[in-house]
A and B are shown apart, each in its own frame.
Chain A
Amino acid sequence: MLRLEKRPQPSQLWTYLTPLVAVIATMIAGGALFAFLGEDPLVAIRTIFWDPLFSEFAFYYRPQLLVKGAPLVLIAIGLSLGFRAGIWNIGAEGQYIVGALCGAGVGLAFYPIEGWYIFPLMVLAGAVGGMVWAMIPAVLKVRFGTNEILVSLMLVYVAEQLLASMSLGLLKNPQGFGFPGSRNLQQYASAHNAELIAGTGMHWGVVAAFIAVIFSYILLNRHMLGFHIRLTGQAPRAARFAGVVPARLILICLGASGALAGLAGLFEVAGPSGQVSINFNTGYGFTAIIVAFLGRLHPVGILLAGGLMALTYIGGEIAQSNLGLPSAAIQLFQGMLLFFLLAVDVLTNYRIRLKQREVA
């Protein structure tokens, strides 16, 4: 009989090994799923994990990796700060939308003036927009003790309605022949988040993601605020004893994650997406939760996990178009990854012991 035995100390080895084991387990279970759908599991797995990087069309897919990965990493870094402190912002998708709306709104307000200062102002507006949206659950929690999980999640749907209203109303392109959606910022040089090096997918959002990783690494490992965040997550009473003011930490963590999600939204709307439209958001805010946990809430881990997640996104799209796999199967596959990660995670704190059942 199998039995779990608590380790005296969390295993260092397994902390690093679990994501790997989870990925392998996902490949096996996902492969079985694809086999049931009548596809060759090996081909399907190769399409998802190998083709985006090394196939003959990889030159097209590799930049996509950065484009998809950057918002995931940027949002996940913000979320990880709160998650470490036990503050659960589930509404990054909403903050992403509001950040994009605010940023794009500032850009469109200047149209057609050209100026170097327009894009920085948009970046600022995007961050502030996301932060303000995240401050709603934060303030409600601090003031009235509401549950930030519910409030932040519900605000996602409010933000989606806001997005629809903006696409059809205030931000609608006056020269768009009545179609919903704003002007295309890609055609407005001062507001365009263009590729920094053509053909690489490298835009300002990617730079921001890398900066966020470095900043968060320093914050968590070298700064008192990061120490207090970790302390609050692990032992809330000890944190209060150390002098942490829980309310302030809630505001900081939710504010920071909202700002980063807002930035991600701004870089997306001004760059790869180009315009505010009804179906602008594609679930980055939710996938980033998976990325944050897959990366063990560690900045470098999140960077790697963001890359992996982007890979399954792009690979999944290839598999959909080339192999005709349903998109639900791809989503299921991504869900499996989180499931296995959480399941294998047990091994960090417990070891499995084989126990013979003795005959009494």
Chain B
Amino acid sequence: MTGVLLSINGLTKAYPGVVANSDVSFQIGEGEVHALLGENGAGKSTLVKMIYGLVKPDSGTMTLRGAPYSPAEPRAARASGVAMVFQHFSLFDALNVAENITLGMENPPPMRDLATKIREVSETYGLPLDPFRTVGDLSAGERQRVEIIRCLLQDPKLLIMDEPTSVLTPQEVQILFTTLRKLTAEGVAILYISHKLEEIRALCDNATILRLGKNVGTCVPSKTTASEMAELMVGAALHIPERNGGELGPVLLDLDNLSVTSPSAFGTSLKNITLQVRSGEVLGLGGVAGNGQDELLGALSGELISTPGAITLEGQPIGALGPVARRRLGLLTAPEERLGHAAAPDMSLTENAMLTGSVREGLEANGFLKWGKARAFAEAIIERFDVRTPGPGNAARALSGGNLQKFVIGREVMQRPTVLVVNQPTWGVDAAAAAAIRQALLDLAAGGTAVIVISQDLDELMEISDHFGALNEGRLSEILPARGLSVEQIGLMMGGAHGMEVAHV
């Protein structure tokens, strides 16, 4: 290890009512891959935002290569050689790769020079990318490459990556790791934020673990087991859901050649999806984001209508029914996007309990709403799923992501579904809450519900699924028993090294 690149001393940042970071100190050496580990709400984002100049620390100092460093805004951070790849991409679907990169630059060079440069950088680091492709047509992995190349064009000394692998296939993860190793060999330091402990063990030199805003320990990931790191993260031993794999009952939900056109121009239409889920079964559907997951959930929730016979619930054709009728029959769903889709951000939890609970929980009579009952229902969800909030009167957007997710999943689980479909049930949720959600899904299955879990987290799917299938460009792979599947097999089901070739048709 050569010299210290970035040194952080006693950074503290408090928001009204919560201390996001308290006296956090650590150092990143040049060419080091440094992991930042922690549950949701542990203060990782705030810390990174301070380093990137988005948030100003209340106290504490940073030094970059020995000189005091206090970026007033991201532009100053970039000028000092700090770049960041965000978890959620900020790209315009309708523009091409080069145009998107131009938008982020202070002094963009002429388009032709830029395109040459993009090609150069992408070849040097093994990130194949055609500068003139429209971003809307790119896979999530390719979009991430756009973001990374955008950063690399600035010649960064420190690259911050926020959960970079959450949208990638195993093969794409390997490509990314190769790139990152090349970068570190050139002396670039990487601050790597992730939940995925195995990844951190494979990639990172050092790790700093945050809990409740405090630095609770550092470790050398390659010499520490995943469960030791997890315990440091949550401060207690993890409760890993158990799969008891009971006998499967009759088929409850049957999709027969379901084809639905996506309502969005950049969406993925579903093509001939055929599957069956039985009582007591958990069917895991993997796949890289944007391969039809949202559309499948929409087609099952009733937001997208198909031919009546394409979807059968307990022998009854329901393809042409709307969301309310499907709920009444027992098909419940929980979409991926918590704010704005599963829940209305500015409405209270009581109102959000009404949103899907009105039919099955009897929260309305002749169109008139029973707010008292809705409030009691919301309170019951909060109680059973340990949602941390002052009360059901709070607005949904005031809850942290994990807590709102527990509420949204809990709302459907508490309605005793016949079939439950969830999309990304533990996306951005801390380890403890994720375990609780998975356990709730398993309990539901044990009680005879058929559960479909759509997720991009393969570890999660392997942990809870009886059967596994993958979505790729709106098509469903063969469905296989989850037990005994290898990572390579799963990768191939998900579409192989999706987007590895530039000329992917």
User: Which residues of A are interface residues toward B (Cβ below 8 A)?
Assistant: 8-10, 222-225, 227, 230-231, 234-235, 237-243, 245, 358, 360
Contacts and interface: CB of A to CB of B under 8 A. Distances in A.
Contact of A222 (B340, B345, B369): B369
Contact of B367 (A223, A242, A360): A223
B341 A227 contact: no
Contact of B355 (A10, A238, A358): A238
Given A238-B344, A243-B322, 14 more contacts: A8-B397, A8-B398, A9-B394, A224-B369, A225-B367, A227-B354, A230-B347, A231-B347, A235-B339, A239-B344, A241-B301, A241-B323, A241-B356, A245-B322
Given A8-B398, A360-B70, A238 B340 contact: yes
B341 A237 contact: yes
Interface string B321-359: 011100100000101010111111111000100111010
A241 B341 contact: yes
A242 B333 CA distance: 11
Contacts, number: 74
Contacts of A240: 303, 323
B355 A224 contact: no
Contacts of B324: 242-243
B364 interface: yes
A190 to B, nearest CB: 37
A354 to B, nearest CB: 15
B347 A234 contact: yes
A240 B356 CA distance: 11
Interface in B389-407: 394-395, 397-398
Interface residues of B, number: 35
A235 B344 contact: yes
B403 to A, nearest CB: 13
A234 B344 contact: yes
A235 B347 CA distance: 9
A245 B302 CA distance: 11
A360 B73 CA distance: 12
B386 to A, nearest CB: 21
Nearest to A239: B344
A52 B322 CA distance: 54
B493 to A, nearest CB: 29
B343 A238 contact: yes
B344 A222 contact: no
Contact of A10 (B340, B344, B395): B395
Nearest to A236: B340
A242 B355 contact: yes
B345 to A, nearest CB: 6
Nearest 5 A/B pairs, CB to CB? A243-B324, A235-B344, A243-B323, A237-B341, A238-B344
27 contacts: A8-B395, A8-B398, A9-B398, A10-B346, A222-B369, A222-B371, A224-B364, A224-B369, A227-B354, A231-B344, A234-B344, A235-B339, A235-B341, A235-B345, A235-B346, A237-B340, A238-B342, A238-B355, A240-B303, A241-B342, A242-B324, A242-B355, A243-B323, A243-B324, A243-B327, A358-B72, A360-B70
A81 B343 CA distance: 21
User: Which of A8, A223, A360 has most B Cβ within 10 Å?
Assistant: A8
Interface of B: 70, 72, 301-303, 322-324, 327, 333, 335, 337, 339-347, 351, 354-356, 358, 364, 367-369, 371, 394-395, 397-398
Given A223-B368, A241-B323, A9 B354 contact: no
B323 A242 contact: yes
A237 B355 contact: no
A82 to B, nearest CB: 18
B323 A234 contact: no
A332 to B, nearest CB: 33
Nearest to B341: A237
B303 A241 contact: yes
Contacts of A223: 367-369
A222 B368 contact: yes
Contacts of A245: 322
A224 B333 CA distance: 20
Contacts of A227: 351, 354, 369
Nearest to A235: B344
Nearest to A245: B322
Contacts of A231: 344, 347, 355
Contacts of B333: 241
B107 to A, nearest CB: 22
A303 B371 CA distance: 25
A357 B78 CA distance: 21
Contacts of A358: 72
A237 B337 CA distance: 10
A243 B345 CA distance: 17
Nearest to B304: A240
A345 to B, nearest CB: 14
Contacts of B398: 8-9
B358 A241 contact: no
A165 to B, nearest CB: 42
B335 to A, nearest CB: 6
A8 B389 CA distance: 13
A238 B369 contact: no
B54 to A, nearest CB: 14
B346 A234 contact: yes
A266 B377 CA distance: 46
B248 to A, nearest CB: 29
B303 to A, nearest CB: 5
Nearest to A8: B398
A237 B301 CA distance: 12
Nearest to B395: A9
A184 B120 CA distance: 84
Contacts of B323: 240-243
A160 B340 CA distance: 41
A243 B398 CA distance: 25
Nearest to B344: A235
B102 to A, nearest CB: 28
Contact of B358 (A222, A224, A225, A230): A224
Nearest to A218: B368
A242 B356 CA distance: 6
A126 B365 CA distance: 32
Contacts of B339: 235
Of listed A235, A240, A358, residue having the most chain B CB within 10 A? A235
A223 B368 CA distance: 4
A237 B345 CA distance: 11
